Amino acid sequence: MQRFQIKALVAATLVAASGAALADITIGVVAPLTGPASGLGIPVGNQVKLWPKTLAGEKLNVILMDDASDPTQGVQHAKKLTAADKVDVLMGSVATPVAAAMAQVAEESGTPQIAWAPVAVPAGKDKWLFRLPQSNNVMGYAVIEHMKKQGIKSVGFLGYSDAYGETWLNDFKPQAEKAGIKFGPVERFARADTSVTGQALKLVSANPDAILVVASGSGAAMPEMALRERGFKGKVYQTHAAATRDLMRVGGKAVEGTFVVSGPAVLAEQLPDSHPSKPEAIKFVQQYEKAYGPGSRNQFAGHAWDSLIVMEKAVPLALKKAKPGTPEFRAALRDAFEAIGRTVVSHGVLNWTTADHWGYTNDTGVMMKVTNGEFKVE
């Protein structure tokens, strides 16, 4: 297990919570800086480096740890952060299996968790879990509406065999069938797989009008490349976990014309002026690309930006009840997340409540198309 501490930043003071003053706010961040999901985790780590030194008037301490895309490491880090460092909030991971494993630690320790992956847990098990990505239901709605406009009558499924793939399958299939779209065949693959030849052949043989690929980051390009290599001529859709430039970097011409559902942050300048998230999305993009270069924006870095927006609203409410670094403050912060009300973030309009720790409405998802190697709003 290795602890990564970011030094010499203009944005965040990163120290162990054990050395922090009682009034300091301490955030424990767990993200895949290495491993298969590092294409998603590195941008999050980059955004964390841009966080300010204070939060809601209090000193901000951040502990950043690499889960190496492994749920076991994610749990180990979460236990260390909650038990030894006594962080006020856990943030992460961007890999769904890791974030799901961390959720149990958050519940057992009484520590609020802001997940950067669309984590689905059993009913009643998300008391301490809040999500910043849009739910698969919300994003699936945008995909289905687009498919209807495209005249899609049948759709195949090629997705991860883990929690991310299964939750998309379970959420998307009923929506497709309700819309009168024939669903299937269903093919799965593991994140570590380097080939999906067999699965691609089965799907191409079935010849649906479209295929939904459920994968993330650079790993989303490989299955689509396999489909095109095996002669699939229909439309390909990708989920919000693929809304990164890695899709085009790895997939090249094979992913031209792909439809990808995304949160608004990735498309800041292309949003209509009437879109409530446009100002916040532009602020996110400008500060991120000033630091890391044009075109470096990322869906998941946007979630890290939005994390501090909700913290800025919730921390003052929690401070009225308790001091940071205590169980009472962690409980008060959890309650405050449910009480912040309508909150405009770079990825949409969020409203966490006691009954809903997702918070986005069906109009949140934005459909985009890969055109000449760039994402363009559809």
The string of DSSP codes covering 167-227 is HHHHHHHHHHHHTT-EEEEEEEE-TT-S--HHHHHHHHHH--SEEEEE--GGGGHHHHHHH
Query: Across the chain, what does the average pLDDT equal?
Result: 92
Contact 99, 83 (CB under 8 A): no
Question: What is the number of other CB atoms lying within 10 angstroms of the CB of residue 205?
Answer: 11
**pLDDT score at 3:** 44
CA angle 161, 366, 160 (to 5 degrees): 5
The superfamily (CATH) of domain 136-262 is Response regulator (3.40.50.2300)
What would the mean pLDDT of 39-65 be, rounded to a whole number?
A: 95
Lowest mean pLDDT among 5-9, 238-242, 259-263: 5-9
Query: 369: pLDDT confidence band, cut at 50, 70 and 90?
Result: very high
What's residue 217's pLDDT? 85
Q: What are the residue boundaries of the structural domains of the chain, listed by start? A: 3-134+283-350, 136-262
Same fold, 3-134+283-350 and 136-262: yes
Burial label for 22, CB within 10 Å (0-12, 13-18, 19+), is exposed
The pLDDT of residue 12 is above 90: no
Please determine, for residue 92, whether its predicted confidence score (pLDDT) is greater than 60.
yes
Q: Which residues have CB under 8 Å from 37's CB, separation 6+?
A: 69, 93, 94, 95, 98, 191, 216, 217
List Cα–Cα distances, 154 to 38, 117, 144, 215, 378, in angstroms. 33, 28, 11, 20, 21
Separation between Cα atoms, residue 215 and residue 236, nearest integer Å: 13
pLDDT tens digits along 179-196: 999 999 999 999 989 999
Asked if pLDDT for residue 20 goes beyond 70, the answer is no
Kindly tell me if the per-residue pLDDT of 11 is higher than 80. Answer: no
Mean pLDDT for the stretch of residues 312-327: 96
| Residue 316 pLDDT | 97
The better pLDDT of the pair 150, 9 is held by 150
| pLDDT of amino acid 81 | 98
Residue 5 reports pLDDT greater than 60? no
CATH 3.40.50.2300 given to domain 3-134+283-350? yes
pLDDT value at residue 4: 44
Give the global pTM.
0.84
Q: Do 183 and 177 contact (CB within 8 A), yes or no?
A: yes
Residue 8 pLDDT greater than 70, yes or no: no
